[in-house]
Amino acid sequence: MPALFRLAATETKLFFREPIVVFFALAFSPVLFGVLGLIPAVREPGPDGVRMISRYLPIVVAMGVALFSLSGLSQLFASYREKGVLRRMRLTPVEPTVLLGAQLLMAVVLSAASTLVVLLTGRLAFDLDLPRRLPAYVLCFALLALALFAIGLLVAALARSATSASAVGSLVFFPLVFFAGLWLPRAGMNQVLRTISDLTPLGAGVQALQDTTSGNWPHLLHVGVMLGWLVVAGGLAARYFRWE
């Protein structure tokens, strides 16, 4: 266990040496949420009395984690293989599962910090309520983050270069954020689209975060979907991991 934490600390230091990756992984979602909140129409209550900014809150949180996973973590990890870093690490006692675990730990902690900034921005700047079922919210966020980062590591495990990881990550990212409701809110989706959304990690995660923010418990379907993506993607990432 100490080896895991030491390696995670080292990976964190290396991560912060890439300013562009750091911006899009950590700062983009708080900035985007702040910009959305500056639009008067987004702050006004809708026909149902709910402000659009409150609907965007879980979407922006989930999108930020997905961006970190598919545009930050996957490229960074794939670049290790491209630059020969993983080949050199192969000569050390580090196991692939420990390396993947350290990447997961670093990514979850940093994305949690970014999410906290978004939540505080919503509370202090736009008078949004903090999650009413905080323990359930934290659990759902952790499942969402782990599932998405497992997908990002799977992309990195299969990609031979940072460029290919970026291309594949983009192909995965945009459909995920669509079904999360970024362009078409889940409430406006027809039954087929909403069913597909429920089965994606981002769609299930957004709904779970929305439910726990409102004071409700997440549906078991959404929890099960996130857990399933974590197990399957994480298992495949470990199975197909290559040092070079």
For residues 242 and 77, give the distance between their C-alpha atoms in angstroms, rounded to a whole number: 11
Q: State the Cα torsion 84-239-155-198 to the nearest 10°.
A: -160
For the chain, what are the domain ranges?
Answer: 2-239
* Structure letter (DSSP) for residue 187: G
The pLDDT, as a whole number, for residue 215 is 92
Written as six digits, the tokens of 220 are 């078991």
Tell which residue, 29, 18, 74, has the closest CA to residue 56.
Answer: 29
| Count of CA atoms in the C-beta half-sphere (13 A) of 117 | 16
Global pTM value: 0.90
47, 169, 205, 244 from 144: Cα distances, Å: 30, 17, 6, 29
44: left (phi over 0), alpha (psi -120 to 50) or beta: beta
* Alpha-carbon separation of residue 15 from 48, 67, 68, 141, 165 (angstroms): 43, 15, 11, 22, 16
> What does each of the 244 residues of the chain score in pLDDT, given as a tens digit?
577 888 888 888 888 888 887 888 888 999 999 999 998 888 888 777 778 899 899 999 999 999 999 988 888 878 888 888 778 878 787 787 788 788 888 988 999 999 999 999 999 999 998 999 999 999 999 999 999 999 998 998 888 788 888 899 889 999 999 999 888 878 778 999 999 999 999 999 999 999 999 999 999 999 999 999 999 999 998 888 877 7
What local confidence, expressed as pLDDT, does residue 1 receive? 56
Token representation of residue 28: 């983009």
- Report residue 50 as tokens: 């709910």
Instruction: Give the helix/strand (H/E) hosting 98.
Output: helix 96-126
Percentages helix, strand, coil for the chain (3-state, rounded to 5) are: 80, 0, 20
